[in-house]
Amino acid sequence: MSAPERRRPGGFTRRGVLAMTSLAGVAAAGAVGGDAAASALGGERAREIGRRRVPFDGPHQAGVLAPPAAHGWFAAFDLRPGADRAQVATLLRRWTGEARRLTAGEPVPGDDAMATGYGASSLTITVGFGASLLRRLGAPVPGELQPIPPFPHDDLDEGRGDGDLGVLFTAGDAIVVAHALRTLTRSARGTASVRWQMTGFNPADGVTAERGSTSRNLMGQLDGTGNPRPGDPGFDAHVLVGPGGDPAWMRGGSYLVFRRIRMLLDTWDTLPRERQEQVIGRRKDTGAPLSGGTEFTPLDLDRQNPDGGLAIGPGAHVRQASPASNSGATILRKGYSYFDGYRADGAPDAGLLFMAFQRDPRDGFTRIQQRLALADELSRFLSHESSALFAVPPGAGPHGYLGQGLLDGL
């Protein structure tokens, strides 16, 4: 039999109370007219999204543990020739101060007014350091930042990978994200410039029938069901650098792997739904594993069909990606879909901006991807086109700045 179903936490939340209050107002407004009531509900939802704030200061950078957002943008920066340690420290102090204000919904000095009237919209700004930055600063490069090895099905564009600095922006509104990127780009002039930048999206709040439900990727599959959650047994040990970690400036931080993964959607679409489900190992409509249950029922990798075959096949994605198949390797995924139009051959240029936080990529992403590249049936429908790896230092205190432990120690 399958293990007991894992349930989502229940109870009332501030968001739930706001939603119920809004709905009650709509019901009471019936005499005014359905259209007006619906408009009022939409306006209240938009205001609620704008009012949400994710605190910037804390032991970990907020974007590591923040819940999924509707918009995820990633930008990599390279230092200008001749930029030294003092200039990098100045830049990080400036970025930290700007991020504090932006995530609180406040303007920064010299603001361009792009987001005037907009709220914080759950904005997070997460900064990471590439191995190339550490070498420029003369700092030792930790083993966790050793290059990710090549894998089958890789078709990497070096111009859209790596970088001295990596910055992840997430928020509930695209204008808020664009404004934050523009702000940090302007303040970096003379010290660093954008190497590459990509934009992704998730369902906007209120689009899915149930708030907090798992989003779908462009293959139509529920994506992220098995993601670990803060508070799960062993979560911190898998995702965050512990108090005894080396180097000391990374304690409380994490390592971020970024991959741009193009989905071969036209080829995928030729498969009947039953075959797609076998490739993934889950039902397409509910996300339930083929071993039975509902979306959050744990996988039963030993379950057999009446004909004696495995319910979740040997090459199914969920089998090959599971911790049970990878010596317990666990990563915290942050995925955003992208759709950049059509290529010259007529195929969609679309897929997933894949991001994964972990304590050590060698025991996390690399271990898992080595298996997926060789044994995962889904790999035939994917092409990895961009790759980057960053050390994400811990968060900052109210009077500190991101990366202070590194810069002060040089």
Determine whether 154 is an active site residue. no
Report which of residues 324 and 41 the model is more confident about: 324
Report which of residues 225 and 46 the model is more confident about: 225
> Running DSSP on this structure, what letter comes out for residue 216?
B
Q: Give tens-digit pLDDT for 79-121.
A: 999 999 999 999 999 999 999 999 999 999 999 999 999 999 9
pLDDT band at 31, cuts 50/70/90? very low
Please identify which of the residues 162, 223, 360, 363 carries the catalytic annotation.
223
Question: Checking DSSP bridges between strand 332-342 and strand 71-79, what pairing results, if any?
Answer: unpaired
Overall average pLDDT of the 70-81 stretch: 98
Please state, in angstroms and rounded to a whole number, the distance separating the CA atoms of residues 120 and 108: 13
Neighbours of 187 (CB within 10 A): 19
On the CB side of 309, how many CA atoms lie within 13 Å of its CA? 9
Please state, in angstroms and rounded to a whole number, the distance separating the CA atoms of residues 319 and 335: 19
174 φ, ψ (degrees, to nearest 5): -70, -35
The answer, yes or no, to whether residue 41 has pLDDT greater than 80, is no
Q: Give tens-digit pLDDT for 312-364.
A: 999 999 999 999 999 999 999 999 999 999 999 999 999 999 999 999 999 99
DSSP string, 303-340: -B-TTSSBSS-TT-HHHHHSGGGTTT---EEEEEEEEE
> Running DSSP on this structure, what letter comes out for residue 302?
T
On the CB side of 312, how many CA atoms lie within 13 Å of its CA? 26
pLDDT band at 208, cuts 50/70/90? confident
Show the tokens assigned to 308: 């004696």
Question: Checking DSSP bridges between strand 165-171 and strand 71-79, what pairing results, if any?
Answer: antiparallel
The pLDDT score that the predictor gives to residue 93 is 98
The predicted model scores a pTM of 0.89
pLDDT band at 16, cuts 50/70/90? very low
Omega within 30 of 0 (cis) for the link into 247: yes
CB 391 within 8 A of CB 255: yes
Please state, in angstroms and rounded to a whole number, the distance separating the CA atoms of residues 277 and 378: 11
Burial pattern 219-255, b for ≥16 Cβ within 10 A else e, equals bebbbbbbbbeeeeeeeeebbbbeeebebebbbbbbb
pLDDT band at 36, cuts 50/70/90? low
Overall average pLDDT of the 250-264 stretch: 98
Overall average pLDDT of the 291-319 stretch: 97
Please state, in angstroms and rounded to a whole number, the distance separating the CA atoms of residues 301 and 323: 12
The answer, yes or no, to whether residue 186 has pLDDT greater than 80, is yes
pLDDT band at 205, cuts 50/70/90? confident
pLDDT band at 34, cuts 50/70/90? low
Kindly report the average pLDDT of the chain as a whole number.
91
